Amino acid sequence: MYEGKPPSSPARKGWSLDSIFGRSADADVSERQVAPSVSSTPASTDVAANDLFSRVGAFLKTHRLDPTPTNYDLGYQYLGGHDPAVVAAVDAAIAQDGFLRHDVAQQIVESTANTVSSELLEKLIDQAHQSMLLAASLVGQSRSDASAYGNALDRGAAALDAGGEPATRALELMLDLTRTMIGKTQDAERRLAEMGSQMASLQDDLAEAQAVAESDPLTGLANRRAFQSRLARAMAQATQEGTPLSVAFCDIDHFKKINDNFGHDTGDRILKMVADALVDGAGEDAFVGRFGGEEFLVLFDGIMGRRAAMRIDEIRDELSGRHLVSKTTGEPLGTVTFSAGIAQLQTGEDEGDMLRRADEALYAAKNAGRNRVLIAGED
C-alpha cells in the first residue's frame, strides 16, 4: 500500500493525490494507527471461545454425557447463558437429581432445539448480510478510485501533450498516482481475499446450522419440516416424470406403556432402535424422517405402494422377532412392534392428501390389531 506522498505545492494543489481520491494525509495515518487494535480483537475472541469449549467438555464429562453434537450444543447454550430456558431447565434437573441425566438432557434438547436453531440462523444470516454490505462498499470504492484514476490520467496526458515544465510535473504526478493506485488495488485484493475466506466459513456454518434445524436431535433423522420439504420436491418430480412414489406412516405400538413401565431413557433407546431399523431396511432409495413422538415417515421415490409395503413389512417382522433386555437392570422388555400405513401417489393429489391416506391406513392397521402393514385403498 502507498505510504509516502510527495509534498504539496501551489502548482500541484489541483492535482494532489488527496484531492483525486477524496481523503487527507491525516486519514491514512489514522487508519494505520487504528489497524493494530482492530486486528487484536479476533485473538481475544478466540481465547474466550477456546475457554468456553474446554468448559463444555468438562461439563459433559462431569455429567457423563456422550460427546455428541447435540450435547455439545446443550453445554454451549447452558454455560454461555445464551438461552434462559436452557439454563433454567438444566439447573432444575441438576437440583433434582444431583447431575444432568442423559434422558433429561435429550428432553431439554428436543424442547429447545427449534428456538436455538432459529436464533443461530438469524445470527448467521445477519453476519452474511454485513459481509455483503462490506463487499458492496469495497467494490463501490474501488470503482470510484478507478474512475478518479482514469480522469487523472486523462488530465496528465493532456499536460504531456502540451510539453514543457507542466509535462514534467504531470509525469511525476502520474508515476506517484500509479503507485498509489497499485497500492489501493493490492489492498482491495487482500480485503476481498479475507472476505472470501470469511464467506466460505460462513457458508459452512450456515450448512451446519441448517442441518441442525432440519434434524431430529434424538434419532438424527430428518425432522417433520425437512421430510415434508423433501416430499414436496419428490412429488413434483414424480408428477413431471410420471414415475411412482410411495410413503409409509409408521407408529410404534403401545409406546406410552414402554415409557410408563421402563422410563423415558429406555423409550429413547427404543426410538433410536426403530429409527436405525427403518434406515437400514428401507434401502438407499428411501428417505426416513421422524414425524414426531413415536411416529416415523418413509419416502420411497420411484417405488410403487406394494413394493414399499413389502420392505416395511420385512422391517416390522425382523424387529418383532427381537427379544429386548434393559441395559441398566437386565429386565426383559419383551418385543417392540410397529404398525404402518402405505400410500402411493395418485394423479392430482397434493402432499396433504397423500399423507392423510397413509395416516388412515396406519390407523386401520392399529384397529385391526397392530403389528401389521396396510396399503391405503386395499382391503
DSSP for residue 222: B
81-95: string of b/e by CB count within 10 Å (b at 16+)? eebeebeebbeebbe
Q: Phi/psi at 30 (nearest 5 deg)?
A: -60, -45
Which residue type does 332 have?
Answer: P
Three-state DSSP class for 329? coil
DSSP for residue 217: T
The yes-or-no answer on residue 294 being catalytic is yes
203-221: string of b/e by CB count within 10 Å (b at 16+)? eebbeebeebbbbbbbbeb
230's grid cell: 423433501
Judge contact between 223 and 293, C-beta under 8 A.
Answer: no
For CA atoms 98, 101, 105, 107, the dihedral sign is negative
- H or E element at residue 84: helix 84-97
The CA distance from 303 to 307, in Å, is 7
Q: HEC states along 112-137?
A: HHHHHHHHHHHHHHHHHHHHHHHHHH
The CA distance from 141 to 222, in Å, is 45
Instruction: Give the contacts of 158 (CB within 8 A, at least 6 positions apart).
Output: none
- Smallest CA-to-CA distance from 337 within 362, 318, 355 is with 318
Pairing mode of beta strands 338-344, 373-375 = parallel
Candidate list 294, 318, 349, 360, residue with the active-site label: 294
Question: Helices 264-282 and 255-262 sit at what angle, rounded to 10 degrees?
Answer: 140
The CA distance from 363 to 316, in Å, is 16
255's grid cell: 409406546
Q: Could you give the residue numbers annotated as active site?
A: 294
